[in-house]
A and B are shown apart, each in its own frame.
Chain A
């Protein structure tokens, strides 16, 4: 394959988690999910811990991919902001950089305007963190520091014998 894995270290995760926790408070959101475009959940915050976040991540990525395809059909590069209005809860979905998606769930305690305002600021900060993560992963790969560089055939066999 032409690209390496996304590697997130503990300190990066904590920075992202802190940003999401702050966004939950600032936007008066019920919950926030950070998802990558391949459908992997990266982090979550808020009062929606019981929701099936793995499915949410996969469906969000599918949604962004499908609307991205629609955008290209009409000559747009992408639709960077999506809003879905429900009877009780609403979804605000934004691309924070070219790879990651921020999903904000909010109800009548907040408003679309407030969510938009807060997401714009937090999105820019998250994009900066991801740029640093990407550079760090490149450096780690160049130095051969990954624990997976030493995976043996036995390690893989053991995985399947369990």
Chain B
């Protein structure tokens, strides 16, 4: 749930990067952290196992700029992708304002992508949220790999609703900021809708 603070003139929103294990969620955040001006970012926190797999979440606060005199701050979270961390994923989705689904483009990970997307839909539903109504974008990551599935096939499988989607190679940074801007745009449009007379 976004937080609008008139006293500090700030809007705070929560964005969650979701997707199967090893799809590149943490790599997305690491790239955002590396390429963001120090004045506009906070400390990146990674609660990870000794083998650097996400145990609970990664967290990165960043500021994007001002809108209507309010500083916009986005809190970026990743979930642990491994199947058995489902309880943790549910917790991290609480209060989410926008979701990035990071898909692994490798053909052999298509089933894991589909399972993770279904898991996202289900976990949002448990909180009374509908994936078709939450600001949502899809990122097709690892496009540089030789075993990447054709884009059209991935779109048909993972994005039938035709939400904004982006090709990426997170380890080089390609597509990372485009994805972030895409979801931030969705969140701000949603904020506009929620602030309007209903």
Q: Which of B11, B45, B184 contacts A59 (CB 8 A)?
A: B45
Cα distance, A131 to B135, chains bound together (Å): 27
Chain B CB within 8 A of A76 CB: no
Q: A1-B190, A39-B75 are in contact. Are A141 and B91 (CB under 8 A)?
A: no
Q: Chain B, interface size: which category?
A: 35 or more
B56 adjacent to A149 (CB under 8 Å): no
A162 CB → nearest B CB, Å: 5
Q: Does A1 lie within 8 Å of B133, measured CB to CB? A: yes
Q: Are A55 and B57 in contact, CB atoms less than 8 angstroms apart?
A: no
When the two chains form their complex, are residues B43 and A5 in contact, meaning their CB atoms are under 8 A apart? no
* Residues of chain A lying within 8 A (CB to CB) of residue B66: 159
In the assembled complex, which residues on chain A have CB atoms less than 8 Å from the CB atom of B134? Answer: 1
State whether the Cβ of B48 lies closer than 8 Å to any Cβ in chain A: no
Q: Give chain B residues whose Cβ lies under 8 Å from the Cβ of A144.
A: 195-197
Cα(A42)–Cα(B189), bound, Å: 23
Least CB distance from B71 to A in Å reads: 10
8 Å CB contact of B43 from A2, A36, A55, A158: A55
B88 touches A66 (CB 8 A): yes
- Interface: A6 (CB within 8 A): yes
B4 lies within 8 A of A58 (CB): no
User: How many residue pairs at the A-B interface have CB separations less than 8 Å?
Assistant: 149
| A50 shortest CB reach to chain B, Å | 13
Given A7-B6, A8-B6, A55-B59, verify A62-B72 contact (CB < 8 Å).
no
Smallest beta-carbon distance A74→chain B, Å: 13
Report A-chain residues with C-beta under 8 Å of the C-beta of B11.
5, 148
Which residues from 183 to 198 on chain B have a C-beta closer than 8 Å to any C-beta of chain A? 184-185, 188-192, 194-198
CA distance A142 to B197 in the complex (A): 5
Partner of A6 from the list B4, B128, B196 (CB cut-off 8 Å) is B4
The CB with the most chain B CB atoms within 10 A, among A39, A69, A150, A155, is that of A39
Nearest-CB residue, chain B, relative to A155: B67
Is A143's beta carbon under 8 Å from chain B? yes
On chain A, the residues within 8 Å of B133 by CB distance are 1
CB contacts (< 8 Å) of B191 on chain A: these are 5, 148, 151
Find out whether the CB atom of A8 lies under 8 angstroms from the CB atom of B67.
no
* Residue in A10, A38, A65, A68 whose Cβ sees the most chain B Cβ within 10 Å: A38
B3 to A62, Cβ gap below 8 A?
no
Kindly identify which residue among B67, B70, B198 contacts A156, using a CB–CB cutoff of 8 Å. Answer: B67
Residues of B contacting A143 in the complex (Cβ-Cβ under 8 angstroms): 197
Encoded as 1 (CB less than 8 Å from any A CB) or 0, chain B from 68 to 95 comes to 1110100101000000000110111011
Q: Tell yes or no: A40 within 8 A of B by CB.
A: yes
Could you tell me which residues of chain B, from 99 to 153, have a CB within 8 Å of some CB in chain A? 128-129, 133-134
Interface string of A31-63 (1 = CB under 8 A from B): 000001111101000000000101100110010
Shortest Cβ distance from B42 into A: residue: A54
Q: Which residues of A contact B87 (CB under 8 A)?
A: 69
A-B contact pairs, 22 of them (CB 8 A): A5-B3, A5-B195, A8-B5, A8-B6, A9-B6, A36-B95, A38-B95, A39-B59, A39-B95, A62-B47, A62-B57, A65-B92, A147-B69, A148-B4, A149-B195, A150-B68, A151-B189, A151-B195, A158-B65, A159-B65, A159-B66, A160-B184
- Which 5 A/B pairs are nearest by Cβ-Cβ distance? A38-B95, A144-B197, A13-B7, A146-B195, A65-B91
